[in-house]
Amino acid sequence: MAFESLAEKLGSVFKKLRGKGRLSESDIKEAMREVRLALLEADVSFKVVRDFIKTVTERCSGADVYDALSPAQTVIKIVNEELCALMGGGNAKLNLSNAPAVVMLVGLQGAGKTTNGAKLAALVRKQNGKRPLLVACDIYRPAAIKQLETVGKQLDVPVFQMGTENPVLIAEAAMRHAREHGNDVVFLDTAGRLHIDEELMDELRAVKAAVNPSEILLVVDAMTGQDAVNAAEAFDNALGIDGVMITKLDGDARGGAALSVRAVTGKPIKFAGTGEKLDQIEAFHPDRMASRILGMGDVLTLIEKAEQNFDEQKARELSEKLSKNRFTLQDYYEQLGELKNMGSLSDIAGMIPGMDAKALAGAKMDDGFIKKTEAIILSMTPKEREDPALLNSSRKRRVAAGSGTSIVEINRLLKQYDAMRQMMRQITKGRLPGFLGGGGKRGKKGKKGGLFGM
């Protein structure tokens, strides 16, 4: 996950501060030096780092830090606030006021513009109740039109295309089509290049003049580091972008682009692509990202992910089974599936305060663990899933052969399942357990069962 290395280095800096009862000027100076190095290693723009360190140092040099009961926490609070401000402060939304609203997606080739544009269209439909239309204006890249049609079909979002016709004519025809068919948001998937050139910009300017978009959204790849910031600056100068969507934040990126692009262009990051799955896109919240970078978790995004993947009917059925003390391996399998749908376990760990991906890996709860567990359970018969006591030695050998695992791994799974079943019995009556929870009765204190017992 992006920022993992940065979060680790900053965590080390603040751990040293927490070990001191009082902070001296030299303590803060040394801490800021290490923060500066950590940001530069994360590929944050030198100018952005310089201004950031200057602001934080000035705030940390005040008497409120030296005189605070917990000066280290005060420094962390200041860094958190400045990181949040660096990335834009609050969440910026798309301008969808026109009818139909036009969102023009621009960016360099390879940034993930086509796929993430389709993801965004599906998100707007889900969250805003809109009827989006995807428009294939990239007539140069081989298979670009086919790719848009494929992801559009998978997401059940209509796609308008006219082959290799002039992009301006395609955009104008798409607008007429949208009005005639009741599409209230039009997403234009424009052409990209491997590098910025005047021919590309002239075409984009022509499309902009033809349809007068309410939003020009630049798509940048987090993996490209400072190149993404340079691209953002160039596109903004040429077109006047309204916001940025940053993609591949799930990759092994240093994250400098996300921390630099707002400061360099003055334009907010509005969305983030967080994985390859077609539902892995989310609104970008600077405050939540700052908290994750500083190891303070991101509980709000975690809850939102749980709610998106939460099946109320299944929750009710599970609640009824638990009330009768019936928690089967099939139920265990379904709960693992719901957890997996929320994303990788390392990403989830990063949203839990005080936990990181390495801690989760240490517990042998990686994504491979879930896949192996699912393979074992799916190799069992329905009766065996309902009653694991049926699994004698010969049945275990059959399951091991069918799942590509060993009897030792099957026995380990059965122990984990039994431990969870025992835990279920001890949970306060009226609270729905499991990975996701929710949907059950409220407990004595008015709390509702939820993710990880929250």
Tens digits of residue pLDDT in 128-151 = 899 999 999 999 988 999 999 999
Decide: pTM greater than 0.75: no
Q: Residues 339-382: pLDDT tens digits?
A: 666 555 555 555 555 444 444 444 444 557 778 888 999 999 99
Q: 140: Cβ–Cβ under 8 A, 6 or more apart, which residues?
A: 191
Q: Number of helices and strands (H, E) in the chain? A: 21, 8
Domain ranges of the chain: 4-86, 101-294, 304-453
Tell me yes or no: is domain 4-86 CATH 3.40.50.970: no
**Percent over 90 (pLDDT), the chain:** 33
Q: For residue 431, how many C-alpha atoms fall within 13 Å in the half-sphere facing its CB?
A: 22
CATH annotation of 101-294 = 3.40.50.300
Amino acid at position 426, single letter: Q
Point out which residues pair with 162 in neighbouring strands.
none
Q: What is the 3-state secondary structure (H, E, C) of 99-163?
A: CCEEEEEECCCCCCHHHHHHHHHHHHHHHHCCCEEEEECCCCCCCHHHHHHHHHHHHCCCEECCC
Give the least confident one: 63-77, 96-110, 440-454. Answer: 440-454
Average pLDDT, the chain: 79
Q: Residues 191-243: pLDDT tens digits?
A: 988 788 888 899 999 999 999 999 999 999 887 777 888 888 889 999 999 99
The CATH topology of domain 304-453 is 434 Repressor (Amino-terminal Domain) (1.10.260)
Place of tokens 């190095």: 37
**Percent over 70 (pLDDT), the chain:** 76
